[in-house]
């Protein structure tokens, strides 16, 4: 299973980004192989509106089944849920910390968008 972490860095010790839609990139971690890839989120970062939807679209296409992030807005959450992707909240400083929290079952599943959208 693959997990997408929002991050500003490029490695496991990179910072966990608290925003989902406007995260610079995603670190896609493969739990079985214990390897990772980086996915750019530039398209969403540059979008005047609909960044969350664009980012969610990117996640769905990446094949990730789980997202670990700080906060997720209503539109992104709706798209992720429709695609059957679980969203977990983490306040961890780095991706590596968030990953170990996830492995130990210490992360809480997000049941609904936890921040307001910017445009609606």
Contact letters for other proteins, residues 21-50 (x by CB under 8 A):
--------------------------x-xx
Task: Tell me the site size for other proteins, rule CB under 8 A.
Answer: 16
Q: Which stretch binds other proteins (CB under 8 A): 9-17, 23-31, 54-62, 95-103?
A: 54-62
Q: Which stretch binds other proteins (CB under 8 A): 11-19, 28-36, 64-72, 75-83?
A: 75-83
Exposure string of 24-42, with b = 16+ CB inside 10 Å and e = fewer, is bbbbbbeeeeeebeebebe
Binding flag, residue 116, other proteins (CB under 8 A): no
Of 75, 99, 107, 113, the one binding other proteins (CB under 8 A) is 75
Helices and strands (DSSP H and E) totals, the chain? 4, 6
Torsion of CA 46, 2, 91, 82, to 10 degrees: 70
């Amino acid at each position: 299973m693959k997990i997408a972490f929002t991050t500003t860095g490029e490695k496991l010790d990179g910072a966990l980004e608290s925003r989902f839609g406007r995260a610079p990139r995603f670190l896609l971690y493969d739990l079985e192989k214990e390897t990772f890839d980086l996915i750019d989120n530039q398209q969403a970062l540059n979008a005047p509106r609909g960044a969350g939807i664009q980012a969610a679209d990117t996640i769905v296409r990446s094949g990730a089944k789980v997202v670990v992030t700080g906060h997720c807005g209503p539109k992104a959450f709706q798209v992720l849920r429709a695609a059957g992707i679980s969203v977990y909240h983490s306040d961890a400083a780095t991706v590596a910390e968030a990953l170990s929290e996830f492995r130990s079952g210490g992360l809480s599943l997000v049941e609904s968008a936890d921040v307001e959208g910017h445009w609606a």
